[in-house]
């Protein structure tokens, strides 16, 4: 998959018209080889593999799929968009994240802070000159603090896991799709058609995604007027979205 996004803006006016079109694209899969195992020797996100965590992961998605409704997401976005919880530095937040366990990830037994640093360093290796991308990797999961009491102590199903659009039919490619049958939106004619409350070509910006750490960190960055480029906000907002 190649994602087309705005070119990061570095505060210097370049001669826009002379930039060849392909330099305006950030090809996120350009030459990147997907490794079979992580640095701890474990395989990645195999939701069907037999394993100690598999049952817990499936149960996590059952509760997640039942509860992530259009109205719930709307309420959460309004509430957390106020940013009236806690003020802290990025590094303080990284350390705080170590108190959070991600029950949705079949692989991740390592502390969260390891994951943040590994992500940032791996990106630095592949894209040494894109410092904004290193920082984006470092902060991409900070929204998981939603799970902690000072941020409202949201349950795991409202913090982690793959994300998907709400307000339209749940796509069959979403992991453990069968559990959506118990979601009230599944049988609501306003929400259960291909486009639901949206119109064709309305743009991803106008689509509400299931609520969790991605959307929360996006709101935090945006409302605090981050100087990160729009590509960084895109990555933060959709990094758990595995759409087809």
Name the one range near Fe ion by CB under 5 A: 8-16, 36-44, 134-142, 183-191.
Answer: 134-142
Interface residue with Fe ion among 141, 162, 185, 215 (CB under 5 A) is 141
> Which residue number has the CB closest to Fe ion?
141
- Binding residue numbers: 45, 102-104, 115, 140-141, 144, 161-162, 213, 239-240
- Binding residue numbers for substrate: 45, 102-104, 144, 161-162, 239-240
Q: Which is nearer to Fe ion, 160 or 191 (CB)?
A: 160
From the CB of 211, what's the least distance to Fe ion, in Å?
A: 13
From the CB of 140, what's the least distance to Fe ion, in Å?
A: 6
From the CB of 202, what's the least distance to Fe ion, in Å?
A: 25
Name the one range near Fe ion by CB under 5 A: 19-27, 87-95, 139-147, 224-232.
Answer: 139-147
Q: For the CA atoms of 160, 165, 167, 172, what is the dihedral angle to 10 degrees?
A: -100
Instruction: Tell me the number of residues near Fe ion by CB under 5 A.
Output: 1
Tell me how crowded residue 25 is: count the other CB atoms within 10 A of its CB. 14
Q: CA separation (Å) from 66 to 62, 117, 194, 221, 244?
A: 6, 33, 19, 29, 22
Q: Which is nearer to Fe ion, 141 or 185 (CB)?
A: 141
From the CB of 213, what's the least distance to Fe ion, in Å?
A: 6
CB neighbours of 93 closer than 8 A, spacing ≥ 6?
Answer: 139, 142, 145
CB burial of 205-234 (b: ≥16 within 10 Å; e: otherwise) equals eebbbbbbbbbbbbbbbbeeebebbebbbb
From the CB of 189, what's the least distance to Fe ion, in Å?
A: 33
CB burial of 68-98 (b: ≥16 within 10 Å; e: otherwise) equals bbbebbeebeeebeeeeeeeeeeeebbebbe
Q: How far, in Å, CA of 51 to CA of 53, rounded?
A: 5
Residue 102 binds to Fe ion (criterion: CB under 5 A): no
Binding site for Fe ion (CB under 5 A): 141
């Amino acid at each position: 998959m190649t994602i087309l996004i705005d070119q990061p803006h570095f505060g210097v006016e370049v001669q826009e018209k002379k930039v060849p079109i392909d330099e305006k694209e950030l090809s996120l899969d350009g030459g990147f080889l997907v490794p079979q195992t992580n640095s701890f020797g474990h395989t990645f996100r195999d939701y069907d593999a037999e394993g100690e965590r598999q049952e817990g992961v499936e149960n996590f998605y059952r509760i997640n799929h039942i509860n992530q409704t259009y109205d719930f997401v709307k309420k959460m976005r309004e509430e957390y968009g106020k940013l009236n919880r806690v003020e802290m530095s990025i590094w303080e937040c990284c350390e705080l994240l170590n108190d959070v366990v991600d029950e949705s990830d079949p692989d991740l037994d390592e502390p969260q802070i390891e994951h943040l640093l590994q992500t940032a360093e791996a990106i630095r290796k592949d894209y040494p000159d894109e410092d904004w991308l290193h920082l984006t990797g470092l902060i991409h999961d900070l929204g998981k603090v939603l799970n902690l009491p000072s941020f409202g102590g949201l349950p795991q199903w409202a913090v982690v896991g793959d994300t998907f659009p709400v307000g339209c039919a749940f796509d069959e490619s979403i992991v453990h799709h069968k559990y959506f049958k118990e979601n009230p939106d599944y049988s609501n004619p306003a929400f259960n058609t291909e486009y639901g409350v949206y119109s064709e070509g309305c743009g991803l910006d106008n689509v509400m995604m299931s609520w969790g750490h991605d959307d929360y960190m996006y709101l935090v960055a945006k409302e605090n007027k981050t100087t990160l480029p729009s590509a960084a906000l895109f990555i933060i907002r959709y990094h758990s979205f595995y759409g087809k």
